[in-house]
Structures are given as C-alpha cells and as structure tokens.
Amino acid sequence: MEEKQQEITTDEKPTLTKKTSSHGKPRKSKSRCNFSLHMRIHTGERLYSCPLCGKSCRQNGNLEAHMRTHTGERSFICTQCGKGFSQKQNFTIHMRIHTGEKPYTCTECGKRFPHKGSLKHHMISHTGEKPFACAHCGKSFTTKARLMNHTNGHTGTIVSTCDQCGKSLTCKDSIKQHMKIHSGERFRCSECGKVFKHKRSLINHMKLHNGEKK
C-alpha cells in the first residue's frame, strides 16, 4: 500500500518521447500528417480556397503558389538567363535547359527526356496509341494539340494570319508550311533530284524509291 501511495505522490515527471507531448498526450507524428494529406487525393477534400477566383487546393503551400498567378510575383529567378517563374516546379523544369538534365528515360528505346510529359508523348510512338478523338469526324490523334488544330478545320477557327498575303489559317503548324511559298523553299529528292514545295510530298515520293508505294 505504501509503495502505491509513494508512486502517486512522487514529483518525478514522465519522460518525454517523440510520441508524447509536454502534456503527456500522444504527439501527432509527421507520418500521420503526411497520411492525412495523402488521403485528400482519394477523398478530393480541398480545404484552402483562393479568395480571388475560388480555386480550391489540398495544401496551403499549393494555395500560396497559386496566389502568385494573380499577383504576378516571380520568386524563382534563373541565374543563367534571368527568366522568372512563379512556380518552383516550372523553374526546376526550365533549369534543365541549361544543365542538360534528362531524368526521364524511355524503357523501350532508352531515349531520355527533360520532362515527364515529353516522355509520355514519346511513348505513343511505341504503342501507337491515339487517345484524342475528333468529335466531328472520329479521327484520332496522338496529342491534344494536334486534335485542336484538326478541330479548327471543322469549326473554321482562325489561329494565324500570314503577314505577307493576309491568308487566314486554321492550323498553327500551317503558317510555317505556308510561309515556304513566299520564301521559295523547296524539298529535293536525293535519289532523282525532283523538287517539291511541301515536305510531305517529298516523303510520299520517297516511298516510290523505297518500294513502299507502287
């Protein structure tokens, strides 16, 4: 009985550990916080909202980064060329232009890329996948940009105008091809010397020499 009383009245403080707070209660671990943040990916919970546009973010840090798109603040400055970025991720990707870093490698052919998106686009050349389909005619494309260029042909949306003749073009890539008309650039066949206005025409012509086309 005396031992029990002595145990209760002792002035000895409990030993603090990484798992206990100064109040003797369990301390929130870093892993538990990370788990809570991770679970928001599955639940879709977004606790932080932008007061200017209403966009919601899962983390306060993401909201702070988003706010720079409104303020125009560019906290990340490239020491090589002076270009500024509001997002650290964009800054990191930009620096690879200067460093030559290519952290993403194709598992099929070993080709390396500076961006994850570039690798993803490259992989389509191996799989033949064309995930972007035209809602007007059903034709499929490897990239969203090519689909948009194609769709402009259906809708008649003008994306560029030739400053030489004023011709309106619905495809962004068409302006480069069109300008060759003014520059006089030609594509010559290395086999027979025949000249073409368009590179695609030369490619089709080369199939005759390679026996791919009759």
CA distance 201 to 194: 11
- What global pTM score does this model have? 0.42
Instruction: Give tens-digit pLDDT for 1-59.
Output: 444 444 444 444 444 444 444 455 554 445 666 776 676 667 767 678 888 888 888 77
DSSP letters spanning 119-188 = HHHHHHHHH----EE-TTT--EESSHHHHHHHHHHHHT---EE-TTT--EESSTTHHHHHHHHHHT--EE
Q: What is the mean pLDDT of residues 204-214?
A: 77
CA distance 70 to 51: 11
99: enclosing H helix or E strand: helix 88-99
105: enclosing H helix or E strand: strand 104-105
Q: Estimate to the nearest angstrom the gap between the alpha carbon of 203 and the chain centroid.
A: 31
Domain boundaries, the chain: 132-183, 184-214
Confidence of residue 110 (pLDDT cuts 50, 70, 90): very high
What dotted CATH number matches 132-183?
Answer: 3.30.160.60
CA distance 4 to 6: 5
